[in-house]
Chains A and B, each alone.
Chain A
């Protein structure tokens, strides 16, 4: 019942944040206008709407909102899933280098293929970018998992140290490519470093939709397997699972989601850590609950962070990565202090 209440709360607040994201910004749009524009799109009635307002909503705010929801849900659910497979609440895509791997590959794709991309249709170019990011994320995830694994479970210290090494390595290569890049490439690359939803267009939304929708639908179905996994790989196989298959499914789906979000919005840190942790505190650790709730809460958090990023210092827009890091790092420290005994034994 408590879980049901949490779902209700999440969905209600999600609606609130969605509306505030459409209303507030450099231009304030009255809620009445927002409602009539939305109901026009839904085909409810075709009242006359203010064209300027409609333009702002259709061209700028709606794609940005949808991208925020998708990326937030992707980061939340993949953070929860990766923590489940590593059996460890500190396994966050950003910390263990998965995002860095994704962004390195994205930067490589940009600098090597920018001329080619221009010749391809733009949507295909985005798919290539997302696919490159996915490959980078996937390679790092398998690498870290196998480095950190001792006696069938991931060792926290090794995992985090491997993450530091990979972050440094990917950072160095990214730096090198940045150094060699021309001006056009530089501008595109800088965008990945910061982490922002500012590049949202309908095209980016449609290009990441399939890569994020699939993990969003399938990962929550793996909740039972991830629960069994928390008993250890051996016990999971005694319960009739094929551990290697579960591992592959989770890592592929989670890195698909992370890769796609990195490709369109750069590295947005700490969402994958913060979101599942709060969800577990509120409603328990059962993955059948944590996975869908993390998707909802991730979407909520990122959209809220984006509203803050656009409005706190308006008309200047803060990078969203700054907001999530400001909120996320104290929580990370809090988890470390509170659970250090449990975590490192």
Chain B
């Protein structure tokens, strides 16, 4: 169980996070939505322990986050970050083995290799095992990093899986796969928290959605409760239609088309003449 109470985060006079509180139980999948600069990344970095809140605390299983020793915490939570660079040419296998580092001292055991094999299978990267990491494409690297952090908590039930925009660089196929794996983890009793930009992925996979606006918690509820045109307009400044998928009973969000005034949007182009308009119509 993870409990965040009254989290504040300030840099100088800027308040990036104000009074954010929520709770998540093992087995839950929580998506965090919000516009750029709403405080999503700050929040998830506080949950991972990388940033210390200016005030407020995070409790992980009845113990405060900063009371854990680093190697204890490494077995209970992991985070997939947006930017991962590895300059030395480690092989994919070696990168995955790094995910097991918290679990062995000097030599990996048989068990660690079983974990790596299973993870590669699930993430569909077994064919990349011997490849050098820097030679992979951006999307492939992202999937390898995902597999690495899964290795870290693969055998640690109830632990915390944090993801900061996990699908940003991925094809639709792997967006769905990434979310489905996270969903499967939550079903098996892990706690999953993901910062997402794709509202529909959140609607499909998350049990709950936390909406942030200007560093404050705006809403916290099930996708059906949270994803209404009014709320989405409040958060993203965008007009949308929300429909219900009759098979899954989950909301589908469809942005309305935005039309610019074609005649007036660029003052440097010659005005649209009558003949041109006729030719167009």
Contact = CB atoms under 8 A, between A and B. Distances in A.
The B interface, classified by DSSP as helix, strand, loop or mixed, is mixed
A153 B74 contact: no
* Chain A contact patch, size range: 20 to 34
Interface stretch (A38-46, A226-234, A326-334): A226-234
Contacts of A88: 87
B152 A239 contact: yes
Identify which of B50, B70, B71 gathers the most chain A CB atoms within 10 Å of its CB.
Answer: B70
Nearest to B91: A284
Contact of B74 (A221, A240, A286, A342): A240
Interface string B49-84: 010000000000000000000111111001101001
A292 B106 CA distance: 14
B205 interface: no
Contact of B84 (A87, A235, A237): A235
Given A238-B74, A238-B78, A239-B152, A231 B87 contact: no
Contact of A87 (B48, B72, B87, B95): B87
Contacts of A284: 89-91, 94
A286 B90 contact: yes
B180 interface: no
A239 B74 contact: yes
A3 interface: no
Contacts of B101: 224, 227-228, 239-240
A60 interface: no
Contacts of A235: 81, 84
B74 A230 contact: no
A284 B88 CA distance: 9
Contact of A231 (B50, B75, B78, B84): B84
B86 interface: yes
A87 B89 CA distance: 11
Interface of B: 48, 50, 70-75, 78-79, 81, 84-91, 94-95, 98-99, 101-102, 106, 134, 149, 152
26 contacts: A88-B87, A89-B87, A89-B88, A153-B85, A221-B106, A227-B98, A230-B86, A230-B87, A231-B84, A231-B86, A231-B98, A232-B84, A234-B50, A234-B81, A235-B84, A238-B48, A238-B149, A238-B152, A239-B74, A239-B99, A239-B152, A242-B70, A280-B88, A280-B89, A284-B90, A285-B94
